[in-house]
Amino acid sequence: MSQHSPKTRWERITDNDIMWSFLSSPGAMTAAVVSSIIILACLFAPLIAPFDPFDPAQISLWDGKLPPSWAEGGQSQYVLGTDNQGRDMLSTILYGGRLSILVGLAAICLGMVMGVTLGVIAGYVGGATEAVIMRLADVQLTIPGILLAILINGVGRASLPLELREEFAIYVVIIAIGLTDWPQFARVARGATLVEANKEYVQAARIIGLPSWLIMLRHILPNTMRPILVIATIGLALAIIAEATLSFLGQGIPPTTPSLGTLIRVGNEYLFSGLWWITLFPAVALIVLVFSVNLLGDWLRDALNPKLR
Amino acid sequence: MSNLLDINGLNIEFPTRRGTIRAASNVCLHVNAGEVLGLVGESGAGKSTVGNAIIDLLEKPGRISAGSIKFNGEELRDKDADQMRRIRGDRIGMIFQDPQTSLNPLMTIGAQLVETIEKSTKIRGRKADRHAVKLLEQVGITEAVARLKAYPHQFSGGMRQRVVIALALAGDPDLVIADEPTTALDVSIQAQILDLIKKLCKERNLGVIIVTHDIGVIANIADRVAVMYRGEIVETGDVAQILGAPKHEYTRSLIAAVPRADTKLERFTSVDYIEGATNNFKRIDIQNHWLGETRKQDYDGLALEVKNLDLSFVLQNAVFKRNRRMLKAVNNVSFSVQQGETFGLVGESGSGKSTVARLIAGLYRPDAGVIKVFGANVNTIKKSRANLSERQALQMIFQDPFSSLNARMRVLDIVAEPIRFYKLTNSESETRRIVQDLLDHVGLGAAAELRYPHEFSGGQRQRISIARALASRPRLLVCDEPTSALDVSVQATILNLLKDLQQELGLTMLFISHDLPVIRQMCDSIAVMRHGEICEVSDANAFFNSPKHPYSKHLLDLMPRMDLIKP
């Protein structure tokens, strides 16, 4: 049995159950295509976008508040219209989306690294260490995430000198969202660690005499990654929303730097003047992106759960 | 005269995305009333699939593609789902493997029995209650009236299996299919359950199909035997003929692989009909080999010394000590193991034998007592590279081949881990050469190093485990039920490998098992454990010929008789 030659790396990627489940799920495929189109378009915004919203030479206030090109009074070079400062909406959404996605990714990575580290340590070491870490997570979960993010964000910005605030606003937002995210990662990582730590391969590693940190890093961590990957995907969508919410409330990215949240906020001020496009298009971009990433996360959870196969 | 059950040319297929798998092909069987048919085979042989196909409970996406199943002369394949449901309850009873999960934990035994009785017979109300009591009495449950109100968790495993049998009999069936009915039970309970099934079969003139992997069960209960191998029935016949004079080559090697309790053999013979069991064990020159390097040091004391070991687990915690409920898992255990011998630790489940192994390996800390491995106290050794020879001296092989290997690591990295950690070699290329050598030595072939554990079968995984244990160059090997998760033929090859390695490397082994015949084949000395205490320590031959402790005698009496098998 199994005398066939070892699989190559490529075969292991393409020829497995996860890939098969992906290819047989139209919802997941659509979600993957849509989200990767949006994410790629945003990441390559400087190459794709017709205008550069950061270049003052390309912005003219005379072209401000123009409707989309197909509406009455629209101009053909501004496909989705312009905002109040005369920036092209399509370019601004692409650049803004880029910022939102980068902030979301960085925040979720921060939350994941922190939560998984603490969770694996809590699960493996146990005792007082576990109690302290997990109670801390419990306490944090009693406070609504967005309020906590606003708090951390406010404190973070207040402790920076005035001249650096604009410059470091993005990092403060990333830290604020990342710090609110870690408890869920810690909980999942601890749960998975408790299961793995009782398995015999961990006992074998202990008998060999490996130190605890090496067992956690080499043996337990790789085996807890599946559920963590799932909540990271769903968490990415939530982190993007959290950034948008913070920016919408005027707490996050300054309005001079466009992100999806600041665009929606700016548009909101002009909504009653009939300038619907400034709010609608960034909002639609946000919803489609978050929805497709969420769908992808849902599918991943089902595909990685052996009980549902 | 027509048979109770007649299966002819049955084919069962499982369509998957990698093509159709044939789980059973051209299976022909018959069962008469008042007869026990043993359907025996190893895992994956398709024996359970045939059992399930009879009652139309094939797991999806399995389907019957050809053949006929005639029950009392009626073709079961023509019945629709509704008719089959009625036949399942009323006329064919099922007994499943695990009594833990085949009863509903939220219903009393009585309610479950009465529900089944009312569904499958015309007995109603108080009469059904009385019928339930009668059934419980028939399966040997005392105080049946009071027991009706009990929940499944209030019964022991053996009692639960009796209740499951009572449930199977509730509709007064003509045929009972028992799928591994005693695999989850201890030997002492296994014997009782088998006797019960046999007795009911004769009393009620039932046809019984026992699906099992265990030749011992077959020898004790079956009238006729059908041997399955890779979805086909290779041989059918009378039990005495199958066990005593098997015709087919597979049956012959299967029976040769069964460990014998009456005599100790040098090795298991002719198990060559089995997957990858080519006997490519190569002798190595231990004096000049990497594996032999640690053996040059001189130490002539005991390999392992255990004195007055105690360990309690907390069952129910409480703030005050007197309110805590403790379980004495290990109680005043003492024994010693000479260098180079194989010491067997035998006992039923819950006797504390695995706990002793984990104490010796240093995975648990004892409440009291001393464990010395080659003169060094296990619990005072610091985990540092400075005293690596003490840490390395002991390695362990675990029971479950599926959880004892890290699924995310290549075999190379698994086996090389101790070598790299203790820096036993000077270069990575030397490490690799040694790993290949080890894998070759345990019979896997050097090419296995780049694959992942899930690509291997249970027996092959156990070989990887052995290679990993050897990579530390141990002198004491603790084997905790190393073969109880394996098929009997694979077990024979693994036991042969362990024997060979022991002779060649001069290893000392602590061999833990619940299986007396295996212990007999492997061990020089034996300790019997029960409820955390040691009942008897003695020489293996003396133990099997004249046990001293009453519990040892009891255990030996329960061993499946193998008189039918000719040596």
Domain borders along chain A are 17-308
B249 and B374 housed in the same domain: no
* Alpha carbons B73 and A143: distance in angstroms, whole number: 70
Chain position carrying tokens 């019928």: B131
Q: Tell whether B391 lies on the interface with A, counting CB pairs under 8 A.
A: yes
| Burial group, residue B166, by CB count within 10 angstroms (0-12, 13-18, 19+) | buried
Whether residue B566 lies inside any domain: the answer is: no
Q: Tell whether A271 lies on the interface with B, counting CB pairs under 8 A.
A: no
Range of B227's domain? 1-91+208-258
B386 and B239 housed in the same domain: no
Phi, psi of A72 (to 5 degrees): -65, 125
User: Are the Cβ atoms of B17 and A210 closer than 8 angstroms?
Assistant: no
Cβ proximity of A19 and A296 under 8 Å? no
Cβ proximity of B137 and B106 under 8 Å? no
B541 and B444 housed in the same domain: yes
CATH of the domain at B296: 3.40.50.300
Q: Cα-atom radius of gyration of chain B, to the nearest Å? A: 26
Whether residue B506 lies inside any domain: the answer is: yes
Q: Tell whether B328 lies on the interface with A, counting CB pairs under 8 A.
A: no
B229 and B336 housed in the same domain: no
Whether residue B163 lies inside any domain: the answer is: no
Give the best residue of B388, B408, B490 to mutate against chain A (max A CB count within 10 A). Answer: B408
How much is the pTM?
0.80
Residues 156-215 of A with CB under 8 A from B: 199-201, 203-211, 214
B435 and B303 housed in the same domain: yes
Phi, psi of B458 (to 5 degrees): -55, -45
Which of B388, B396, B408 is the closest to A223 by Cβ?
Answer: B408
B377 and B248 housed in the same domain: no
B274: amino acid identity, one letter: I
**What tokens appear for B45 in the block?**
């042989």
Residues of B in contact with A20 (CB under 8 A): 17
User: Are the Cβ atoms of B398 and A204 closer than 8 angstroms?
Assistant: yes
Q: Count structural domains, chain B.
A: 2
B221 and B348 housed in the same domain: no
Which DSSP category does B265 fall into? Answer: -
Residues of B in contact with A219 (CB under 8 A): 406, 409
DSSP calls for B443-510: TS-GGGGGS-GGGS-HHHHHHHHHHHHHTT--SEEEEESTTTTS-HHHHHHHHHHHHHHHHHHT-EEE
Which DSSP category does B290 fall into? Answer: G
A17-308 placed in CATH 3.40.50.1860 = no
Which DSSP category does A10 fall into? Answer: H
* pLDDT tens for the 567 residues of chain B, in order: 468 899 998 999 888 777 788 888 889 999 999 899 999 988 778 888 888 888 888 877 788 888 889 888 888 888 888 888 888 878 898 888 777 788 888 999 999 999 888 888 888 888 999 999 998 988 888 888 888 888 988 888 888 888 998 888 888 889 999 988 887 777 778 888 888 889 889 988 999 999 988 888 888 889 999 999 888 899 999 988 888 888 888 888 888 888 877 777 777 765 555 444 444 555 555 556 667 665 555 677 788 889 888 988 877 777 777 777 777 888 889 999 988 899 999 988 778 888 899 899 888 888 888 888 888 887 776 555 555 566 678 899 998 888 899 988 889 999 999 888 888 888 888 888 889 888 888 888 888 888 888 888 888 889 899 999 988 888 899 999 888 888 888 888 888 888 888 888 888 999 999 888 888 888 999 999 988 889 999 998 888 888 889 998 888 887 776 666 655
Chain position carrying tokens 């040694």: B434
B334 and B429 housed in the same domain: yes
Residues 6+ apart with CB under 8 A from A11: none
Cβ proximity of A204 and B404 under 8 Å? yes
A274: amino acid identity, one letter: G
DSSP calls for B295-348: GGS---S-SEEEEEEEEEEEEE--SSGGG-EEEEEEEEEEEEE-TT-EEEEE--
User: Are the Cβ atoms of A6 and B406 closer than 8 angstroms?
Assistant: no
B455 and B338 housed in the same domain: yes
* Alpha carbons A186 and A123: distance in angstroms, whole number: 9
Range list of β-strands (E), B366-434: 368-373, 376-377, 394-397
User: Are the Cβ atoms of A207 and B406 closer than 8 angstroms?
Assistant: no
A98: amino acid identity, one letter: R
B324 and B240 housed in the same domain: no
Chain position carrying tokens 């915004």: A45
Q: Which residues pair with B539 in a beta bridge?
A: B525
**B469 vs chain A: nearest CA distance in angstroms?**
8
Cβ proximity of B514 and B481 under 8 Å? yes
* Alpha carbons B64 and B514: distance in angstroms, whole number: 39
> Residues of B493-519 as b/e, b for ≥16 C-beta within 10 angstroms?
bbbbbbbbbbebbebbbbbbbbbbbbb
Which of A2, A199, A209 is the closest to B391 by Cβ?
Answer: A209
**What tokens appear for B59 in the block?**
């797991």
